Structure 1
Amino acid sequence: MSNLEEFQSFAKKNTKRIPRNNKAVIYTRVSDVKQRENTSLDSQKQLCEDFAKQNGFEVCAYFGGIYESAKTDDRKPYKEMLAFVKRKKITNIIVYSLDRYSRTGGMAIATVESLKKKGIRVLSIAQNVDSDTPTGTFLQGFHLLYSRYDNDVKSTNTIRGMRHRLLNGYFMGVAPIGYKNTRNENNKPIIVHSDKASLIKKAFLWKANENLSNVEIVERLAKYGLKIYKQRLSDIFRNPVYCGLITHSLIEGKVVKGIHKPIISEEIFLKVNGVNKQKSKHNVKNENLPLKGFASCVSCGSPLTGFIVKAKGIYYYKCKTIGCSCTRNSGILHQYFKEILSAYQVDRTLIAPLKAQLRYTFEYFNKSSKDNTPILKRKLKTIEEKIEKMQERYVIGEIEVDLYQKFREKFTTEKEEIEQEIKDNSSLSSNLDSYIENSLKLFSNLHKIWELSDYAAKQKFQKLLFPDGITYHRKNDRVQTFSVNSVMKLISCLSVNLNKNKSGQTSNFECLSACVTQEGFKPPTLRAEI
């Protein structure tokens, strides 16, 4: 029989096993400041040191030792500890209890598993299990999940209590500027006026009565000794707490009467935010004056408003400038506008050749982006791999939370942009015929569509076709337009070229380049606006 010792050189070894050492770190934590004061941190530290000594561990560093919540793993001492044990090749993390280590549940389990792959284990005194065995791993995971469950139960009870207090009119959180936090005779937290309340009131009154800009109000407040940014001032003006009301995400969109003393009245708050209880007669929609606000006077630049001569029952447009003689019968002005629409209207005999021409035009101006979906999909896969790798590095502590958040936002934005581009390409090519069909139907019935629409539809239609509106020159009695919808302009150019080119051949695009925007011909944009 052969001697097996002669074959020892052929035996395979487990190269994946990471050797452990006796180096360790101690992590302590409390979630309540009262625990910190009653020596809970000192007790944890002492028990961990005794455990280390009994098991022959060399304590190389201490982490934590402060008041912090463990409901997330974005804790700075926690991340520093993970980075330290990896850098110093320490294989043991000693904690008093697993709920001191983390209360994130699934995330904590993933972190522990990642550490275990690097030979690093989490040792708990209160739950002394061998995480190298299947049973020990299960028990450790159970304790981590239970910590998350316990934390969620406490959080639910806390939220329920907060919601109850909000519904009873108590403000929750740090007092907004102009107020300060205190307690009432029943020792319940409330907010009362601070020394800045009078200045906040002035700011509201300046806005409501003098219609000052936020920049001007900021400058005035600075002269009174209150320095504030205009962005924060905007938040103040939109916060109903100042008129005695409370809103909060926990009460699901409700507005509650607060028990605190308001700084301003509800009327002032609504006035500052442009909410009037009575509608102005000038803002009432009038079906007889659809061009009101859309057309403007060439002489003074003022938007045209309207009025009715009751004796005649006729509506007129006029500008708002005193002394300007820009007044015109509404029926005549409407006729002028319909003539403009007719100038851009497509001849029905050209619809068939226009369909072919529009498709060719689209392909011509978008040829650079044609068939680039495979390239975009490869880019998307690369970005997804980067995100996955970055998440893994964050979990095992190789990168800090601020760096993780920075690049996560960057990669996520890139991913969303690529996904949207893929979606746009797919939608554009698959629905192109439908877009062209709808566009031609629209532009072959322009004045009829406008004529038969109601007031709101006319306003939207006008703005779509002529984004900058129209102008009326009273002296010359004519209407002008300056900017025209790019698709409408393109179709008009193509119609002119098709009329000239009776053979039906595709047009020379050099003469059409001025009709198309830099972004090219995009029918989906038109459909979205319509």
Structure 2
Amino acid sequence: MRAVIYARYSSKNQDKKSIKDQVILCQIEAEKQNDEIVAVFFDEAKSGLSDDREAYQQMLNFVKKNNIKKIYTYHTSRISRDTAEIKLRVRELKYIYGVNIIFVSQGISTEQENIELLLSANGIADEQYVESIRKNTWRGLYGRLQQGKAVFAPKFGYKLKDGELYVDEKEAEIVKEIFSLYISGKGFKEIAKILNQRGILSPRGSKWSLTAVREIIINEIYKGVIVWNKYQYRKIPGFPKRKKIPNPPEQWIRIERPDLQIVSKEIWEEANRKRLERQKQDNTKNRVGYTTLLGGFIKCQCGSNLIKHSKVSFKCRQALVGACDITASFREDMLNALVIHAIKQHLIENRQLFKEELEHQLKVLYSKQKTKSDIEKEIESLNRKLQSFLEIFEENPSKTIAKKIQEYEEQISLLELELKSFKEIEGVEIDDEVIDILLEQIDNVLSMDVSQAREIIKNLLEEVRIEKDKIEGFYWIEYSFKNPFRTYNRKINMVAGEGFEPSTSGL
């Protein structure tokens, strides 16, 4: 029988020979079973807590596409160290694709009737192993903290030397200025703009954003207190990567580090008192959703939103802090007119397509959400799966497989009855006035309540993107339309703050 091998080791500190040893042991077992190994897959320095492993995913795709019936691996932990995750994977491979997994070192395979119990028993051991590593790692990091060593990348204002944090005097002066500006009444956005105008690089080595400024203000390290253990990372079954989970405040660990203090505790407290006051004032404005027709739909070529900059214009959010080259303002009435015109053209040009698509949708609706072809395809798919299980049952009869075969047979019988009683809905036709209704709504959006108008727009418009042209002062405006029933893009040329020009060849 054709088979594959999967091997893995977790840490960069482990010996790469581990892969070779796992493969050799799997090959020996495959030879005993007279199986032919047609491919070997392995991941290096990849955790068993994540499904996001390149070779592992390649192996799964290869097995499914090439009708492979066996996977050899050294241990259950090579597939996953999470019991729920490995059971999900085993069930999918065994019951849907008819693939048997042999765990060589443990002498078990998914063909055994008590495999669920065996997986649970081995899974508990794997999970306890992972938990012990997590606790040992936590204790090790905590010990480093107690010794004054760093357990995280240095924040802005600090440098790392021989595993220890120390204050970077040059950056510390910038931190002090940020706190001073904030206390004097400047907002995050204004401070970011000031720093960018002076060419000062952010903690990431790029331009400052209001978020980067905010992180400086709220981090307690600047008053000489390291706060640790605010989060933990856990593998959640069904998710490819570990999730960041907040720990309750009583589990946070605070370590006083006066040597790392850049601003006084009084200054830090004053800045954060003002931050909470401003936050409270913003919340009392009771702003619900967007107050403009196109807020949230318009993007700059840098990826940031265009936001209302004045009573009459929009501007790139990043440009407001000097972090984007598109510094022009775009009149709101101009953008509204452009978008409304483009949506109307989209509806008119695709009128017949929308009509035909809507007729198809109605036809599907009246035939119980399925076409005859849909039912036939479903029966064909179930028959393939049934045949696969019948082949497995011939080699390895079991109650579980027999039950699955019965389920498939019952589903196929029901679908065949549905197919016999199926009545094709012919002649479903609609008047294309549905497009006229949409056009009429679009004509009236500017006179509607903003929330009502946005509901109409959001069903038709995906995104509006502004891009700078090679010619100074000219910009491209690109539209991505949603349904009614089809997505399509269009681009036109415009002049910021003035209006728009027709598309010009070569621009």
TM range (shorter): 0.3 to 0.5
Question: If each structure's helix is expressed as a fraction of its own residues, which one has the higher value?
Answer: 1
TM-score by length of 2: 0.44
Question: If each structure's strand is expressed as a fraction of its own residues, which one has the higher value?
Answer: 2
